[in-house]
Amino acid sequence: MATIDFTRIRSTPKSRNDSFEALAVQLFKGSFHSPSGSTFVSLRGDGGDGGVEAYYRMSDGSVAGVQAKYFFQLGNAELRQIDDSLATAQKNHPSLSDYWVYIPFDLTGRVAAGARGKSQAERFEEWKKKVESAAKAAGSTLSVTLCTAAAIRAQIHAADPHGGMRRYWFDESVLTQTQIQQCLDDAIAFAGPRYTAALDIVTSAHVGLDFFGGIGDFAAWREESLLPVITQLRSLMGWGDKSLGVLGEPDATTARAILRRLTEASERMTDVSSVASDSTEMKQPEESGTRGNAAAVRSAHVQPTEGANLGGVHG
């Protein structure tokens, strides 16, 4: 499982800063509990994001926005960036009521009884109280939520029980076309003279694997394998009809019915979808009928013409 290290968040397709912003938007969308009827809008950051990367507009007109800052300390300059972004967001969204700020690190706490000055956590809390009080004095409501590394990890784990999100954002292992070609070249070099396409032997497994992989040529298979079988079945329906009489009743009638259904189903196989449909429609006879039919076939000793691959037809 990929380690959640924000210094190593994926750098493609643009930059780590851009990726962190996109991750913050994704987590905010799933973590903010918006009321029913809310509209979510994600913004492009080209030319500035207007103070928010994305926002919810609630049915009462209020707005909840998110801002991501990809830096790893919280000094005066960084706190000023957050303050400027909030001011811009309030200007663009006067009804802003919730403001979530994502940063990729945890704040420092108070140490040595404040001997080193105010901690990052204390400075942020002071700023938070200041802007929330200012909004209240202006007659509006504002709630600021800070999502640090610990909170972000918790949100990721809650939203990503299977690890796909973590692999996408924090695993730089990307299989490119160049890497694929290199793997093929390495395999050919390793095999050396032990493999050559000229020595490849085509078996029935090739066709099955091609269809399983979604690259099978149904038209070619029908022409080369199915049509000869249909020809044999038609022939058996002709001269073989009377020979089935030696089975006696009701086995002869049952055998003729099965032969007729098999022939009709084979003739309807014009594409893969028709094969799937016919496979569903063709029902196995009752157990007793199956035993009788098997005995009938053994008694009749009916054999297909040499070269016909009846095993390739599944009813």
Q: What's the CATH number where 17 sits?
A: 3.40.1350
Number of neighbouring beta carbons within 10 Å of residue 75: 10
Residue 304 one-letter amino acid = P
pLDDT in tens, the chain (315 residues): 567 899 999 888 889 999 999 999 999 999 999 999 999 999 976 655 689 999 999 999 999 999 999 999 999 999 999 999 999 999 999 999 999 999 999 999 877 445 667 899 999 999 999 999 999 999 999 999 999 999 999 999 999 888 888 888 988 665 556 767 888 888 888 877 766 666 667 777 877 788 777 787 888 888 888 888 888 877 777 766 677 777 888 888 888 888 888 888 888 776 555 555 555 454 444 444 444 444 444 444 444 434 444 333 333
pLDDT at 59: 94
Shared-domain flag, residues 140 and 244 = no
Q: Beta strands 96-102 and 63-68: pairing type?
A: parallel
Shared-domain flag, residues 147 and 219 = no
Instruction: Classify residue 89 by burial, with Cβ atoms within 10 Å: 0-12, 13-18, 19+.
Output: buried
Which residue among 124, 150, 170 closes a domain? 170
Instruction: Count the alpha carbons within 13 Å of 265 in the hemisphere toward its beta carbon.
Output: 18
pLDDT at 208: 79
Domain presence at residue 199: no
Shared-domain flag, residues 223 and 154 = no
| Tally of domains within the chain | 2
pLDDT at 181: 81
Shared-domain flag, residues 222 and 122 = no
Shared-domain flag, residues 115 and 244 = no
The two structure tokens encoding residue 240 = 């073989």
Domain presence at residue 159: yes
Domain presence at residue 73: yes
pLDDT at 211: 77
Q: How far is CA 232 from CA 4, 237, 246, 302, 303, in A?
A: 64, 9, 20, 11, 10
Q: Which residues pair with 37 in a beta bridge?
A: none
CA 179 to chain centre: 22
Q: Find out whether the peptide bond into 13 is cis, omega within 30 degrees of 0.
A: yes
Domain presence at residue 211: yes
Domain of 38? 6-170
Gap between the Cα atoms of 47 and 284, Å rounded? 67
Domain presence at residue 176: no
Residue 189 one-letter amino acid = A
Shared-domain flag, residues 243 and 133 = no
Gap between the Cα atoms of 16 and 112, Å rounded? 35
Domain presence at residue 192: no
φ, ψ for residue 255 (rounded to 5)?
Answer: -65, -40
For the chain, the three-class secondary structure string (H helix, E strand, C coil) is: CCCCCHHHCCCCCCCHHHHHHHHHHHHHHHHCCCCCCCEEEECCCCCCCCCCCEEEECCCCCEEEEEECCCCCCCHHHHHHHHHHHHHHHHHCCCEEEEEEECCCCCCCCCHHHCCCCCHHHHHHHHHHHHHHHHHHCCCCCEEEEECHHHHHHHHHHHCCCCHHHHHHHCCCCCCHHHHHHHHHHHHHHHHHHCCHHHCCCCHHHHHHHHHCCCCCHHHHHHHHHHHHHHHHHHHHHCHHHHHHHHCCCHHHHHHHHHHHHHHHHHHCCCHHHHHHHHHHCCCCCHHHHHHHHHHHHHHCCCCCCCCCHHHCCC
Which residue among 170, 186, 221 closes a domain? 170
Q: Beta strands 143-147 and 96-102: pairing type?
A: parallel
Q: Find out whether the peptide bond into 250 is cis, omega within 30 degrees of 0.
A: yes
The two structure tokens encoding residue 305 = 């013409």
Shared-domain flag, residues 149 and 217 = no
Residue 183 one-letter amino acid = C
Shared-domain flag, residues 230 and 298 = yes
Gap between the Cα atoms of 304 and 177, Å rounded? 48
Shared-domain flag, residues 89 and 19 = yes
